[in-house]
Structure 1
Amino acid sequence: MLQLSRTRTAVYLAFLVLVWGVNWPLSKYALHFTPPILFAGLRTLIGGLILIMLALPGYKKLNFQKTWPVYVISSVLNIILYYGLQTIGLGYLPAGLFSAIVFFQPVLLGFCSWLWLGEEMHAWKWLGLVAGFLGVGVISAGGFAGHLSSTGILLALGSAVSWALGTVYTKKMAARVDLIWNVALQLTIGGVFLLASGSLLERWPSIVWSGSFIWSLLFISVFVIALGWLVFFKLVGSGEASKVGAFTFLIPVIAIVCSVIFMGESVTFNLVAGFVLIIASIMLVNFKKAGASAGGAEKAAE
């Protein structure tokens, strides 16, 4: 996969963090109108179908007969387990704690990328990944009160592990499959599975098809799901997965800022302190060791 320029990388990262941050409060709002599993299935299936339409002109790149296992495995890890475990797990834990555990993913991604992708791992990067996780934990500390279910903790960890493994697997298989087809089919396969599960466990008449819900669903399906996952894997495929993962620590910050602006929530000390830790995390993860070659530094920056 071609390397992205610094400018394009910065634009893609800004877009990804913004739309995935907005997704949390927007999804919370949308869940007033729909059962959770059906909502997860609808948004992923719509996103997948949108990308299929974009990918159709290059239908020869699909090569489904040889590459279908890649699409299925990617879908199981990145969509079915990631969204499915989240949907179930939020019923067992406070949202703040659950999101903090899910955002252990960048730390797991850094370890898995070092272990299976051969990415560089040094002390500063480890320190940065841990600082980012602590930052998310500080921001989410308000959700730590109440009964802590071991089942919920395991489901949150499962969601984080599936996302990390799915990201590494997708990058490792990038040379075998077309990027757009890979994202489109894993979303579509996952969406069909989640919709089927939702149809068995939930009721379609429970969905309130109001104008605000439809607009929320379309925004999430297009920008968060279709374009968001496409941009995420484009970034991961063109640079170090662990460095892209570090920037995702900013997502809870954006989510809370949006909640403050649009949902009347207040700015807290935890938000400021967590934000400082996350900025430090990104700086440490992207720190270039002295003596690195010019070529290596350029590649790391991308």
Structure 2
Amino acid sequence: MSDASLSRKQTLFYLVFLILMWGINWPLSKYALEFTPPILFAGLRTLIGGALLIMIALPRWRQLRLRETWLYYVLSAFLSIVFYYGFQTVGLQYMPAGLFSAIVFLQPVLLGLFAWIWLGERMYPRKMVGLLLGFGGVAAMSIGGLEGGISVIGILLALASALSWALGTVYIKRQAAKVDSLWMTAMQIIIGGIVMTAYGSSVESWSEVRWTSAFVYDTLFISVFVIALGWLVYFKLIGSGEASKVGSFTFLIPVVSIICSILFLNEHLTINLVAGMILIVGSILLVNVRSRQV
């Protein structure tokens, strides 16, 4: 079941919510890694978020149709959740968060290409320039991360995270008519949470987790607002419009992340940050403003 079209006000509300929640996620996740091994944390937060979505979806249990749709849930779980969060959480151990996020946000560019190839969305020079401009903006904001050193493993994990996110988004968009959107979101997250928690339990130790109140509140916030509600909103936006256009707005997520770091982690505003924000605004305008020629 595909999503119905959203009004402009609904789209704006969902975009603002998503950008704020996913922007806050980066510094919150980096902070949480002081208390927990990475894979266990990735599994725990998605497991809680998935369980919440399962409870929300239960009144629509007839639309689950597990025998017919289980493969869609499993494939989307690995692409959008297991690989994306797994690569991301482990990769943050190897590189500064800013530089790592800059590479991950190659995703909207990849998404624009994949949506053109597999979803039949229109691609034209201005749109591609806009997508590349947005990536350049994220890179400009994060250039200071180069001072922290470059890790080949970190770069590969960031690229893998971006690739899996883009492929997962296109896959779900392609299967939208075959599955219920709420169950698709809930099942992929709970499956992803189970897989990562099981794997984390085999390679990491629960005894290393420090269950402080700060860690618990941090994890619960991420589970509810970033994972459960964030992915629900993201796929609702993807289901109701062009994937590449929604993807272009995700360039704003690192902007929120860096602003939060300036406000709460005492990081400084630099010319790179200002230049990056200007490039990102230009990117979103290029991708989303309609052209008479197209």
Matched residues, number? 292
Aligned counterpart, 1:219: 221
- 8 Å CA contact retained: 1:23, 1:255: yes
Per-residue deviation at 1:92?
3.2
What TM-score do the two structures reach when normalised by structure 2? Answer: 0.97
* Residue 50, structure 1, aligned to residue 80, structure 2: no
* Amino acid in structure 2 at the alignment position of 1:134: G
Aligned counterpart, 1:115: 117
* Amino acid in structure 1 at the alignment position of 2:12: A
* Residue 258, structure 1, aligned to residue 260, structure 2: yes
Instruction: Provide, for residues 78-108 of structure 1, a one-character-per-residue CA deviation record: whole Å limited to 9, x for no partner.
Output: 0111111122323333332221111000000
**Identity fraction in percent:** 61
After the TM superposition, which residues 8-27 of structure 1 pair with which residues of structure 2 at under 5 Å, given as runs? 8-27=10-29
Per-residue deviation at 1:176?
0.7
Aligned counterpart, 1:195: 197
Per-residue deviation at 1:154?
1.9
Instruction: Provide, for residues 202-222 of structure 1, a one-character-per-residue CA deviation record: whole Å limited to 9, x for no partner.
Output: 111111111111111111000
* Distance in 2 separating the partners of 1:134 and 1:108: 14
Instruction: Provide, for residues 194-235 of structure 1, a one-character-per-residue CA deviation record: whole Å limited to 9, x for no partner.
Output: 111111121111111111111111110000000000000000
* Distance in 1 separating the partners of 2:259 and 2:91: 24
Aligned counterpart, 2:72: 70
**Where does structure 1 lack aligned partners over 5 or more consecutive residues?**
293-302
After the TM superposition, which residues 1-302 of structure 1 pair with which residues of structure 2 at under 5 Å, given as runs? 1-290=3-292
What TM-score do the two structures reach when normalised by structure 1? Answer: 0.94
Per-residue deviation at 1:48?
0.4
> Structure 1 pair 132/207, CA: closer, same or farther in 2 (3 Å)?
same
Per-residue deviation at 1:147?
4.1
* Distance in 1 separating the partners of 2:214 and 2:109: 36
- 8 Å CA contact retained: 1:124, 1:287: no
* Distance in 2 separating the partners of 1:135 and 1:265: 18
* Distance in 1 separating the partners of 2:87 and 2:251: 20
Instruction: Provide, for residues 110-130 of structure 1, a one-character-per-residue CA deviation record: whole Å limited to 9, x for no partner.
Output: 000011001111111111100
- 8 Å CA contact retained: 1:125, 1:287: no
- 8 Å CA contact retained: 2:137, 2:277: yes
Q: What is the Cα-based RMSD across aligned positions, in Å?
A: 1.2
Q: Secondary structure at the match of 2:121?
A: coil
* Amino acid in structure 2 at the alignment position of 1:111: L
